[in-house]
Every structure is written in structure tokens, then in C-alpha cells.
Amino acid sequence: MELYLAALGICAAAAVLAAVVTRRVRVVVSSILGALGCLLAGGVALRILITGSTSTFHTSQLLPMSGLSLTLDPLAALFILASAFVGVAACVYCVGYAHGAMASRTAMTLLFVFILTLLAVPAASSVVSFMFCWELMALSSMLLILTNQAHSSDARAAALWYGVMTQFGAASILLGLLLASLGTDQTFSAIGAHSSQLSPTLRSFAFVLVLLGFASKAGAVPLHVWLPKAHPEAPSPVSALMSSSMVAIGVYGMIRVGEDLLHGGTVWWWVSVAALGVVSAFYGALHATTSTDLKRLLAYSTIDIQGLILIGVGAAGVLNDSGQPVVAHLAMMAVLLLMVAHAGFKGALFLGAGAIEHATGTRNLDRLGGLIHTMPVTAFVVGVSACSIMAVPTLSGFSSEWLLLQGLLHGFADSSTPALIVMLLGVIALALTGGLTAVAFVKVFGIGFLGQPRSSGAADAREVSTSMKVAMGWLVVPSVVIGVVPGAFVALLNRASSSALATPVVSPIDKGTGLVLSQLSGAIEPAALFVGLVVVLIVVWAANQRLAQRRSRRVDAWACGRELQTPRMQYTATSFAEPLQRVFADVLRPQNDVEVTHVAESRYYEQSLLYENRVVDVIEMRGYRPLITAALRVGRFSRRLQNGSIHRYLAFGFVALLVILVVLA
Amino acid sequence: MSATITTSLYGVAATLIQIVAVGLGGPLLVGLMAKVKARAEGRVGAPIVQPLRDLRKLLSKERLHARHSSVVLPLAPMIILAATAVAVAISPLVSTHPFLGSSADILVVVYLLLTGTVAAALAGLDAGTAFGGMGSSRVMTIGALAEPALLVAVIALSIQSGTSNLPSMMSSTIAHPDWVFGPSRLLALGALLIVVIAETGRIPVDNPATHLELTMVHEAMILEYAGPELALFSLGEAMRLGLLFSLVANLFFPWGIATSDSVLALAVGVILLMAKAALVALGVALIEVRSAKLRLFRLPELLAGGFVLSVLAVVTGLVTK
């Protein structure tokens, strides 16, 4: 515990240092300090996962009245480990990336505060400590979104959306936790011990409130609207942290409160969690396919993966409640593995997107292309991470999604109706998103890195600095390691999952390098598959060199005999996804405008033609805009009360005084 | 101890036989389908071994790389070949326990096939030409719509067997012959047939014989390929076809597959596998002769039909369990 506190202290020191020293020192020294703090926190979390111990800390010095309580148990440790891992990369990345507004005193200080809170929230173990860390996390990330507000009005709008959503969420969580702690102390252990005495209605009410708050943080549709706005506008290390760690903490909250504090509750809680997951997975994947802004695409893909995670959490909850603890543990372990894997590859993808933006000045895929020639390291990082998210075998996305599918498949053995519905919908959602994710990330790599550059920025791109390359490379490691030897993490996952789900069981996955489910039947050995793939690749390469001539000659592209091949004739990200956009037009509601200008002499000849295609978030337009206009109308109406006349205000005061006197009398 | 060594030796033998059988058999199946189509249309047609001859001819040609292409162009066919070969190696095609058969999960095979599709689509975008992008976009669209049907159909089969391990699925089918004509199986078979036609790019989804620019799907994607790289690409695609045909045949009619360790069983397994795959090829070729290629934007209806069939397969499987 002391070491964990020391790690938090180092992050705090980095924040303080960033606030006082000069720009160059700030960018280098405090970033390194922050990375060290994250490394230490990750080490402590790893030790707790290995030993399975739990340690607590309480001080009444830091927060008034209740004090600050921290508890490190395996479940919290796993989330801290994931945040710390991405945190190291974000800090190192900053050394090369921070320039302009991001290198400012405010932004750097806030970055380390944000990292500090990401490491602290999972450990907070009383209502006040939790809400304190949670709000600090929300505020620091909201201000970080504003970093580039001088250049982007979208950043201001994004921060406003995020601020409103996160504050509603926080209020809802606070209310839920207070309800859950009725009649007892506000520490989590007291709530956990007392919650079985609460009436079922009250418990369900508390869970729904908490679920609303955590679902909005986790980016679950329809509470996701802030996410595709905020993640693109934040500086890349911040979006990497938000997308891989902060949204995961939303899921952590659901597991902690639903399973640990309220002991699983009733089946419909988890059916609703899974339903949120199904909708999010499909909606996120569909929008990721049609987005052309690289970071917006990644944000929607985060919604997709979070949806899959919620499906797993829901399935685990349902199975745990209906007496299938072994499969429930399997699903929970799958979810936790997917969370860790997602932290790795999504962090790498966001850092890669930042590198592209840094090098080309744009993140619009329609203006990129050919970057594999100028930015080979970034291309490698994005390529491997994209393969991982597409669930290419022997990478982390595959191992975790396979495990999740096994959880759902064996969940079919439970014959209760809610369980069957959750499993069926879960399988359908996984199936639907698999193909769509592949389209989205073939688009990212194929349009962004292959072909010819579509703008001068892309043509003049240079590879980014060493520290950024190191940071991106660091985040590729989990994709490969979890992918090839997922069995090495089984013991850690089992500890975390056992501290989440109360019923103790023998781990459903055997010890070993691969994932072998001997209790349930089913196994994969990714290490063997990996060796097989490498061997075949070498054999094919050698045979190709022996049987055919070795030297290759560069020629103009054939393209069915076309002589002229300009970059503008290539497919773009928009045209690549156009067929699917048309297929799913009923869900996406794309807006197309064609504007034709004719020459003055004749209407048969056209002077110019403007074609516009936009895909907006339907839920935002149909669900939120009416609410916003209604709120504005109420605001405008209430402004009539406040017209600036001092006489009127005095009259209000007088009337209020009279009313109070009458009521009191 | 010696028994386990013998078993693993037979496993290695089965794996090698499978790779060779699919590596040679895949192109032969392509040739067979061309022949059947030609005969049905009243032509003589090229000999069945023509695809193999084409491969040899392509290997002797000059290696040409398009100007703006990158390392993806030579790498993609190798990745397709590697992914397909590993899928072939672990699948129970000739014997129920090939080497690595314990991790022969049907989901691994599904995702290895997806890996091949992704590599091919990236190859199409590599040279930066309009046709390549068009082919990739269409292939990924079809792939994204076929993937759900494939995955759910596979899950339907796995639910019945209680596992997604391929050898166990086949053994349990052999143990329960009554499953074969159960409603869930037949629905899943329907879904898988649609998927196989889509994944191998046959009519009515794609026309492998077309070179008309605007209707090309797969051919547009590989326009920039020539010589040895085209040979590898075609071999990879042919092996995919061979794998899909034999896997579908074995999932629904596993009898004949070697369940014991003997040379005779392996020999019978190879011969029956060839026969079953040829039957599937015959069926697909006849469908090709009888139908016209669908418009690209009519395809979602067909593939959604496959998806609905596969969901129905899961539901009926649960109801009749």
C-alpha cells in the first residue's frame, strides 16, 4: 500500500512540477516523472494480482469529515494495471508530442492530475472518496478537452457536452450510492455487508441510478453522445487515456456496485446491462464503419468494444444469478481480458492517430494516404493494433473475443429464458460487429497508409520522434503477448474475477500457455497457431524465392489500361464505406445533397457540381436536440423574470419575505 | 508412451496430407467447376488441371510491382496462404485428430478466413488505383454481411455439440446420425451454403469469369497482381475454396473421416474427402449455371437471408434441445 501511495505521490509531484518549471523541463522531466509513477503503480497492482492480497488505507487528513479511504483488491488492481500501462505510454508520448497548447502549464498539470485520478478511482472505497476521485477525473479530463480550444470551436462544444453528461452521471451515481448506504456507514465494506438488508425495490432503484451514471461514462448507447465529440477533440495522449482507461472505469463501477456491493441483485439488472451492450456494440460498429475522421472512428469503435464488454458483464451477471457460477466466471474473465486488450490496442491506435495528425496536420482519412512509405513505424503500430481489434488470430483481440464467445456458447447450457435471450443477442451482436469492425479498420489502414497521398500534408509527412515511437511500441506489446500466450494471464484474471463475483469456483480455464477449458470443453493454443503461421510464411517466402525469379521490377499500375492515375481517382474513406452506408441507410440516415450549377448558355451543360454526404448521430439529433431546445426555451422564458430592473428584484425579495413570514406564522 | 508417439505421428501425417490434399485439390476443384459449367453450357471447356498449369506458368513470369505499392503487395498473398494453410492444418478434414487438433476450434477457422479476406482487401488498396479500391470496398461489404451469417451458423452447430472444438463436433455428429436431418442442421446448412458462395466469390454473388470493369468484385481487387504473386494469390484463394467446401461437407456429413490411427483409415479419409468436396463443387457449379449474378445492392437481401436462416438455426436448436 505504501508503494501505491508513493506512486500516487510521484504523479502528484509530476503535476506540481509541471506547474512551476519552464516549458522544456516541464515537457521532459515531469513526463518522465509521471511515467515512473505509473510504472510503480502498475507494479504494485501486478503484485496484488499475483498474491491475491487486499490492503487498505485510511486517512482523515485529506478530505474533511469522512477522510480518504483506499482499498486495493484484485478487481481494482486489474483496472489500475491497465490504466498505469496506458499512462506510461501517454507520459512518454508527451515528451515528443507536447507542443503549443498541450505543452502549456495548465494542460501538463491537468494531464498528470487526470492520470493520478485514473489510478485512484478503482481504489477508492468509500462513497465520499469515490465521488471525490471521480469528480476530479471528470473535471481534469473536461478541461483537457479544452486544450486546443483556441483553434477549434468544436472543442468547446465537446467539452460542454462532456461536462453536462458527466455531471448528470455523477449526480446519478451519488444518489444511487447514497440510497445503497441508507442506514449504514458510507464505506464500501459497510455497504456491502448491509445491502442484503435493504428492500429489493430500494436496491433496484439504487442500481438503476448507478447504472445510468456508469453507463454514460462507459459510452453505452444512448448515453454515448459525448464520446464521439470529446475523444477526437482531446489531445491524443488524453484521448488514449480516456478511451482505454476512463471508459473502462465506467464498467468497473457497474461490476463493483452491482456485483460486489449489491451482491448481484436480480436477473433483470443484468439483462438491461446486456441490452445496453447489444445496442452499443451494433451502433458503435456501424458508425465506426462510416466515419471519416480517424479519431471519431476510433471513438465509435470504443463504443462498439464497450458494448461487447457490457454484453459479457450482463451475461456473467445473469449466469451468476441463475446458478451457473463456472460459466459466469468464464464470461467475467473474458470481459476483463477484453478490457485489458482494448486498453492496449485502442491506446496504440489513438497514439497512432495523434502521430498522423502531428505529421500531416489532418485526421481526415479522405485526405491521407501512402503513409506506409514515410511513416513505417506508425504504420506497423496501427497495422498490428488494427489487426488485433479485427480479432485476427494470435493477437489479443482474438483471444479475448474467443473467450467471450465461449462464455456465451456455454451459457446456452442454462435453460432459463433471460439467460437464453442474453446469450442469443450477445452472439448476434458479436457476429454483426465482427464484420463491420473489419471494414472500419481495413479502411483505416488501407486508406490512411496505402495508395497515394491524397493531400500535400500527407505527401510531406515525416516519421515522428523517438519518444512517440517508443510509446506506441510499448502499447503494441500487450496485443502480441496477450494474443500469443493468453494463458499466462489466466491466474491474474481469475483473482480479479473472483473478487468481483462472490461465489468461489475453481478457475474455468486451465493453467498453461493457451486457453484450455477442460471443465467446459473447448481450447485454443495461440502459441502453436503463431508458430504455424510463421513457419508457413517462411516456407512460402522461401519457395517463392526459389521457384520464381527474385528481382522485382517497378512498373506503372495497370488499372485496366488506364494511363493516368491521379491520387484523386483513388477510393476514399467515404467511397470505401458507401455501399455499407447504403445498406444500413435506415439506421444511419445519411444526408446527401447534390448542388448543380449550369452554365449560363444552356441548361444541358454543367459548370460545377457539389456533392455532400454527411452521417450524423441519429440519437443525438432525434433524442438530445429536442431536449436541448426545450431547455433553451425554459431558459429564455425564465429570462423574462430577470429583466435587469432593480425595482423588480426588490419586489421579488419583498414577496419572498412575505411568503416566508406567512408560512412561518 | 509409444502409443502417444504413434498418435502424434499419425496426427502429423494427417496434417501434411490435408495441406497437400487441399493445396492440390483446391485448384482442381476450381478446374472441375469450370469444366462442369462448360459442359452444362454445351462447351468442351478446359481440362480440370488447367488451374495448376496456370499456376506453373505464372510462377515462371517476371515479378512486377505497381509504382505506388508497398510491402503489402507481396506480403498479402503470403498471409492469405499462411492463414489458409494453418486453418487447413488444424481442421479435421482427413482425420478427426490432426496435429494441433485439440485447439482446432471452429472460431479459429472462421477468424483465419477473415484474416485472409482482410489481407486481400488491403492488397487491393495498395497500388492506389480506382479499380483496386472498388474491389476491396465491395469484397469487404460482402464479407461484413456474410460474417454474421457464418458466425451464427457456426454457433448453432456448436450449441448442438456443446463445444466449438471441430473434432468433437464431428465425433458427436458421427455418434448422433439423427442430428443430420434435424431442422437446426438443415437451416444452418442453408446459411453456410450462402456464406460459402459469397466467400468464394461465385455466382450469384460474384462472377469469377468476368472482366467487365463495373461488375468485377474479386477480379478488380487483384488487377495489379501479376506473375509469381498472382500465382500465390490464386493458390491461396483456391485453397480457401477447398477448405470451405471440405469443411461444410464434413460438418454435415462427417462419415468417412479417419477416426482411428491406421494407414487404411487415412487413405479412405482422403478419397472420401475428395469425393465429398467434389460433390459440393458440383452443386455450387450447377447453382452457377442456373442463376444470374445479382446486382451488388441486391446482395444484402441474399446475405440477410443467410443471417436469418442461421439465427433460426440457433433458435430451433434451443427449442428442440
**Whether residues A250 and A324 fall in one domain:** no
A521 vs B112, B121, B168: nearest CB: B168
- How far apart CA A536 and CA B23 sit, in angstroms, is 13
**Whether residues A252 and A302 fall in one domain:** no
In a domain, A532, yes or no: no
B132, closest residue in chain A (CA to CA): A559
> Which residues does chain A have within 8 Å of residue B133's beta carbon, measured at their own beta carbons?
451, 570-571, 575-576
Average pLDDT over residues A636-661: 90
Does B145 sit within 8 Å of A435, measured CB to CB?
Answer: yes
> Which of the listed residues A453, A479, A512 is the one where a domain comes to its end?
A512
Query: What does the pLDDT read at residue A65?
Result: 75
pLDDT for residue B1 is more than 60: no
In a domain, A541, yes or no: no
Residue range(s) defining the domain that contains residue A647: 622-664
Query: What does the pLDDT read at residue A66?
Result: 81
- How far apart CA A241 and CA A243 sit, in angstroms, is 6
- What is the total count of domains within chain B? 1
In a domain, A207, yes or no: no
- pLDDT tens digits along B25-45: 999 999 999 999 999 999 999
Query: What does the pLDDT read at residue A614?
Result: 87
**Whether residues A158 and A294 fall in one domain:** no
pLDDT for residue B127 is more than 80: yes
Residue ranges of the alpha helices (H) in A371-451?
A: 371-374, 376-389, 396-411, 417-449
Bigger pLDDT: A448 or B216?
A448
Q: How confident is the model at residue A233 (pLDDT cuts 50, 70, 90)?
A: very high
A552 vs B65, B108, B146: nearest CB: B65
The dihedral through the CA atoms of A215, A216, A222, A227 has a sign that is negative
Q: Are A392 and A241 in contact (CB under 8 A)?
A: no
Does B318 sit within 8 Å of A420, measured CB to CB?
Answer: yes
- What is the total count of domains within chain A? 3
Query: What does the pLDDT read at residue A650?
Result: 93
Report which of B96, B156, B245, B60 is spatially closest to residue A546, judged by C-alpha positions: B60
- pLDDT tens digits along A475-496: 999 999 999 999 999 999 999 9
The C-alpha of B266 sits at a distance from chain A's nearest C-alpha, in angstroms, of 22
Does A390 sit within 8 Å of B114, measured CB to CB?
Answer: yes
B159 vs A412, A559, A580: nearest CB: A412
Does B315 sit within 8 Å of A541, measured CB to CB?
Answer: no
Please report which helix (H) or strand (E) contains residue B64, including its range.
Answer: strand B63-66
- pLDDT tens digits along B227-273: 999 999 999 999 999 999 999 999 988 988 888 888 888 899 999 99
Category of B70 on φ-ψ map: left (φ > 0), alpha (ψ -120 to 50) or beta: beta
> Which residues does chain B have within 8 Å of residue A369's beta carbon, measured at their own beta carbons?
128
Average pLDDT over residues A197-204: 91
**Whether residues A283 and A180 fall in one domain:** no
In a domain, A613, yes or no: no
**Number of C-beta neighbours around residue A185 at 10 A:** 14
Does A450 sit within 8 Å of B72, measured CB to CB?
Answer: yes
In a domain, A243, yes or no: yes
**Whether residues A632 and A660 fall in one domain:** yes
Q: How confident is the model at residue A518 (pLDDT cuts 50, 70, 90)?
A: confident
In a domain, A539, yes or no: no
Average pLDDT over residues A97-126: 92
pLDDT for residue A89 is more than 90: yes
> Which residues does chain A have within 8 Å of residue B230's beta carbon, measured at their own beta carbons?
none
- How far apart CA A315 and CA A271 sit, in angstroms, is 8
Average pLDDT, chain B: 91
Residue ranges of the alpha helices (H) in A219-324?
A: 227-233, 236-241, 247-255, 267-290, 294-321
> Which residues make Cβ contacts (< 8 Å) with residue B48, sequence separation at least 6?
B28, B31, B32, B35
A438 vs B129, B140, B224: nearest CB: B140
> Which of the listed residues A262, A284, A303 is the one where a domain comes to its end?
A262
Average pLDDT, chain A: 92
Query: What does the pLDDT read at residue A507?
Result: 84
Bigger pLDDT: A632 or B99?
A632
- pLDDT tens digits along A380-432: 999 999 999 999 999 999 999 999 999 999 999 887 889 999 999 999 999 99
> Which residues does chain B have within 8 Å of residue A375's beta carbon, measured at their own beta carbons?
none
A554 vs B67, B103, B112: nearest CB: B67
A392, closest residue in chain B (CA to CA): B115
Q: Are A389 and A301 in contact (CB under 8 A)?
A: yes
Does B158 sit within 8 Å of A570, measured CB to CB?
Answer: no
In a domain, A446, yes or no: yes
Query: What does the pLDDT read at residue A559?
Result: 82
Q: How confident is the model at residue B104 (pLDDT cuts 50, 70, 90)?
A: confident
pLDDT for residue A664 is more than 80: yes
In a domain, A563, yes or no: no
> Which residues does chain A have within 8 Å of residue B141's beta carbon, measured at their own beta carbons?
439, 579-580, 583
Cell of B274: 475428395
> Which of the listed residues A234, A262, A290 is the one where a domain comes to its end?
A262
Does A409 sit within 8 Å of B164, measured CB to CB?
Answer: yes
Query: What does the pLDDT read at residue A463?
Result: 92
Average pLDDT over residues A87-99: 93
- pLDDT tens digits along A566-615: 888 899 999 999 999 999 999 888 888 888 888 888 888 888 889 888 88
Query: What does the pLDDT read at residue A162?
Result: 95
**Whether residues A279 and A428 fall in one domain:** yes
**Whether residues A405 and A445 fall in one domain:** yes
**Whether residues A31 and A127 fall in one domain:** yes
- pLDDT tens digits along A31-66: 999 999 999 999 999 999 999 889 999 888 887 778
> Which residues does chain B have within 8 Å of residue A406's beta carbon, measured at their own beta carbons?
164
> Which residues does chain B have within 8 Å of residue A541's beta carbon, measured at their own beta carbons?
78
**Whether residues A347 and A371 fall in one domain:** yes
> Which residues does chain B have within 8 Å of residue A390's beta carbon, measured at their own beta carbons?
114, 118
Cell of A547: 521457384
**Whether residues A372 and A246 fall in one domain:** no
Q: Are A587 and A221 in contact (CB under 8 A)?
A: no
**Whether residues A283 and A427 fall in one domain:** yes
B164, closest residue in chain A (CA to CA): A522
Q: How confident is the model at residue B285 (pLDDT cuts 50, 70, 90)?
A: very high
pLDDT for residue B153 is more than 90: yes
DSSP-assigned beta bridge partners for residue B10: none
Residue range(s) defining the domain that contains residue B111: 2-319
